[in-house]
Amino acid sequence: MFGIGFSELIFVIFAVLMLFGSKEIPQIARFLGKTMAQIKNATNEIKSEISNSAKDSGLDMNSLTGGISDEIAKAKAEIKKSVNPIEDISTSVENPIQQVKEDIENLTGPIKRQG
């Protein structure tokens, strides 16, 4: 639960009891509940306002988020290349080495058969 273990939760409850006393805890809980509800309502209103303004201006939310998703994918690919450049180097080095190896085998093939 929120990365808090049972022992940490017990400690927090004990600290709250020591700081505020048992009489004020219900008031604090009501205040926190009302505050969380207000925050949730405010975020829902902001989301709906953004959606309404996007619809009014003729923008499609999927096209907006699709562009963002493409940019995120490009950024991830660039970061992956910069973090692990050995993959790019190994693929660019393997092809010429493989070609040289095949050329040597082609050249030495008739020599091995004669000897």
Selected residue with higher pLDDT from 104 and 42? 42
Q: pTM for the full model? A: 0.40
Q: Tell me how many domains the chain contains.
A: 2
Question: Which structural domain range is residue 62 located in?
Answer: 1-83
What's 4's DSSP letter?
-
Residues 19 and 33 in one domain: yes
Residues 68 and 38 in one domain: yes
What's 58's DSSP letter?
T
Residues 53 and 3 in one domain: yes
pLDDT digits (tens, 9 = 90+) for 4-62: 788 888 888 888 888 888 888 889 889 989 999 999 999 999 988 888 887 777 666 66
Token pair 């080095």 in the structure block, residue: 93
Residues 50 and 97 in one domain: no
* Residue 12, pLDDT score: 87
Euclidean distance between CA atoms 60 and 78, whole angstroms: 28
